[in-house]
Amino acid sequence: MNREILRLKNLNSGYADKLILKNISFSVNEGDFISIIGPNGCGKTTLLRSISSELTPESGEIELYGKNLKNCTPGERSRLISFVFSINSKLPDYTIEQFLQLHTFPYDVPFLFKNDEKKISDAVKICGIKNSITSSIRNLSSGEFQLVQLAGACIQNSRFIILDEPVSHLDPRNAQLIMSLLRKLNASGTTIITVLHDLNIALNLPGRILGIRKGRVYFYENAAEIYNKKLTDKLYDIEFTYYRKNNRYFCLNSY
Amino acid sequence: MKKNKLIKYLTAASVLLVSVYFVITSVNFLQPAAFIDLMNYDITFKNVFFNFRIPRIWTAFAIGSALAVSGTVFQALLRNPLADSYTTGVSGGAAFGISLALFTGGGSLSASLYAFGGSILSVVIVYFIQKKFSIFSNVVILAGVALSMIFSSAVMFVYAVSESREVHKAMLWLMGDLSIARYELLPPVFIFIIILSGVLLLYSKHLDIISLGKEYTVTLGISSASIRNIFFCAAVLTSLSVLLGGIIGFIGLMIPHLIRKIFSPKHFILITVSFFCGGIFLAVCDTAGKIAADPFELPAGVMTGFIGGLFFIYSAIRRKS
């Protein structure tokens, strides 16, 4: 059994006067590939923001590699997990290279302006970035930018990456590119947690699926179990059509 | 691409040289020979040049660079291109301090110190607000604006109960008139300005990350302590500029904006270039203000508004088309 690297215990979290996550408990082992699904507004992003410390939990505990997240310094946290958020705001006009250089920050000697160039070129190679690294991140398509963000995450920490809807606004080809890259990383030992909206992607990933409904953990099962018990019906309050072919699970809308 | 870059740097260098020449020769800028003659044979001119002209140029430079650097930093911290050195309500606090000093019958030095005190007061208030709510909340900008409002009411109150002569003096201060600046304050204040700008330069990678937004700032491990340090340095830098020359608008907004477009969005370059460009720009504006309405002097703040505003509109229109 691989060791446990993330554990949430009775987590309650949310915004100023609105509690969104209620009593969330689950754990993730090293090398897992966990996908998180659930209706809009159920608290998926809130969950990620609590793990990233952007939100301070109301109560409950988050343990990272056995250490309480509250006791980690920002620097320690940034060396343990890297995040890929879905960013909607306009970013500064950095080139890909400048953007990636910022991700070496957790390992920089303070105030010494030296970047680990090898790490950067390795990440560019692993993620298969085709654009010239001197092109501006503002001129990239969504798919290209997602690759660049993923390369940034690999530079920051390639052992544990958490992603928020990495393929939601991508075309099928780019979605496949990103998902197969994630599987490749996972096969080489990276632990991955990702929020997904496409059930057909989630059901065919190697790891377990965490279903969140109204701020609570609704299920935390592998794909076969979800398929057999039709758990996603209740999760979204609609009826799906399920079928299975060549060991792949499908879960289709009925409209 | 490479040729473009060369042209860009050549243009920048020549603008720089012309500016320096203009600032030094001032009224004589069309007759360099006359200027050299005066320097060689006219003792009074030489004395005036070294004892008044040069310190004034350095004062303008110090103020301009402080404003440009702090403007750069506030735009990054608040991720708002409309932010500037005064977004924290520093100018409001300074205006109140100046008015109070003149009302109580203080001279120019006490006006400087009151202005500094007033601006530090607003810095401290906004500092604690951002400490409580985080720099990523809009509360910081709102608090700065509200604070400016409160202070400007207080200024109006002071004017309402004071003599018109004092009101005029205070107005000159608020317009950024460098002719009443206190040169003896220059050396220590300038050293502080250089030190604080240097400290902010060390934080340039932090600023690069902060301007990407809250998500990156948190997950790449920028501590809130470093954000507070950056905020504090930039705010004090603004207050120091107030201490030297009152309130001079537009530099903190315009210079970082243009440098970011022309050179680079990386803060190491942004802060360095803004430091020099802001300083030279204010020195040019001050000199131009002296020449434009001879024998009167237009306050430097008026000139930055005129020159800067027109140039800003021009460059904005050009970029759109």
Which range among A27-41, B99-113, B119-133, B291-305 has the greatest average pLDDT?
Answer: A27-41
Mean pLDDT of chain A: 90
Distance between CA atoms of A191 and A31, rounded to whole angstroms?
A: 4
For A10, left (φ over 0), alpha (ψ -120 to 50), or beta? left
Interface subset of B 206-235, CB within 8 angstroms of A: 208-209, 211-216, 218-224
Tell me: pLDDT of B1 over 60: no
pLDDT in tens, B56-87: 889 999 999 999 999 999 999 988 888 888 87
Q: Residue B171's pLDDT is what?
A: 81
Chain B residues touching A106 at Cβ < 8 A: 220-221
Instruction: Determine if the peptide bond prior to B295 is cis (ω within 30°).
Output: yes
Tell me: pLDDT of A192 over 90: yes
Q: Which of A45, A77, A84, A102 to mutate to test the interface with B (most CBs of B within 10 A)?
A: A102
Phi, psi of A93 (to 5 degrees): -80, 50
Q: Which position has the token pair 């040019």?
A: B284
> Helix (H, G, I), strand (E, B), or coil: what is residue B80?
coil
| Mean pLDDT of the region B26-46 | 81
| A&B contacts, CB < 8 Å | 71
> Helix (H, G, I), strand (E, B), or coil: what is residue A22?
strand
Interface subset of B 34-53, CB within 8 angstroms of A: none
Is B8 at the interface with chain A, CB within 8 A?
no
CB contact under 8 A, B221 and A113: no
Q: Residue B320's pLDDT is what?
A: 60
Q: Residue A29's pLDDT is what?
A: 93
Q: Which of B80, B219, B223, B270 to mutate to test the interface with A (most CBs of A within 10 A)?
A: B219
Is A106 at the interface with chain B, CB within 8 A?
yes
Tell me: pLDDT of A1 over 60: no
B151 CA: distance to closest CA in chain A (Å)? 30
SS (HEC) of chain A: CCCEEEEEEEEEEEECCEEEEEEEEEEEECCCEEEEECCCCCCHHHHHHHHCCCCCCCEEEEEECCEEHHHCCHHHHHHHCEEECCCCCCCCCCEHHHHHHHHHHHHCCCCCCCCCHHHHHHHHHHCCCCCCCCCEHHHCCHHHHHHHHHHHHHHHCCCEEEECCCCCCCCHHHHHHHHHHHHHHHHCCCEEEEECCCHHHHCCCCCCEEEEECCEEEEEECHHHHHHHCHHHHHHCCCCEEEEECCEEEEECCC
Domains of chain B: 56-320 (1.10.3470.10)
Distance between CA atoms of A124 and A144, rounded to whole angstroms?
A: 12
The residue that leads in pLDDT, B127 or A111, is B127
Q: Residue B316's pLDDT is what?
A: 75
Q: Residue A191's pLDDT is what?
A: 94
ipTM: 0.91
Interface subset of B 77-96, CB within 8 angstroms of A: 79
In sequence order, what DSSP letters do the residues of B248-312 get, joined into one string?
A: --SHHHHHHHHHHHHT-S-HHHHHHHHHHHHHHHHHHHHHHHHHHTTTS---HHHHIIIIIHHHH
Measured in whole angstroms, the distance separating CA B201 from the mean position of its chain's CA atoms is: 17
Which tokens hold the place of A192? Answer: 């991955």
Distance between CA atoms of B8 and B56, rounded to whole angstroms?
A: 30
Chain B residues touching A150 at Cβ < 8 A: none
pLDDT bracket for residue B31 (50, 70, 90): confident
Options 3.30.460.90, 1.20.120.530, 3.30.70.3340, 3.40.50.300; CATH of A1-31+41-73+194-255: 3.40.50.300
Burial of B86 (0-12, 13-18, 19+ CB in 10 A): buried
Is A172 at the interface with chain B, CB within 8 A?
no
Chain B residues touching A85 at Cβ < 8 A: 215-216, 219
Q: Residue B180's pLDDT is what?
A: 67
Is A132 at the interface with chain B, CB within 8 A?
no
The residue that leads in pLDDT, A17 or A97, is A97
Chain A residues touching B268 at Cβ < 8 A: 113
Distance between CA atoms of A39 and A108, rounded to whole angstroms?
A: 40
Burial B291-307 (b: 16+ CB within 10 A, else e): eeeeeebbbbbbbbbbb
Nearest by CB: A74 against B204, B214, B221: B221
Is A85 at the interface with chain B, CB within 8 A?
yes
Distance between CA atoms of B258 and B47, rounded to whole angstroms?
A: 37
Q: Which position has the token pair 């995450």?
A: A153
CB contact under 8 A, A111 and B202: yes
Let me know: does B107 contact B180? Beta carbons within 8 Å: no
pLDDT bracket for residue A209 (50, 70, 90): very high
pLDDT in tens, A52-94: 988 888 899 999 998 999 899 999 999 999 999 887 778 899 9
B222 CA: distance to closest CA in chain A (Å)? 6
B160 CA: distance to closest CA in chain A (Å)? 43
Distance between CA atoms of A235 and A42, rounded to whole angstroms?
A: 10
CB contact under 8 A, A75 and B205: no
Dihedral sign, Cα of residue B239, residue B242, residue B247, residue B249: negative
User: How many of the other CB atoms lie within 10 Å of CB of B127?
Assistant: 17
pLDDT in tens, B132-189: 887 777 888 888 888 988 998 998 888 888 877 778 877 877 887 777 666 788 899 9
Burial A175-196 (b: 16+ CB within 10 A, else e): bebbbebbeebbeeebbbbbbb
Q: Residue B206's pLDDT is what?
A: 94
Q: Which of B200, B204, B207, B220 to mutate to test the interface with A (most CBs of A within 10 A)?
A: B220
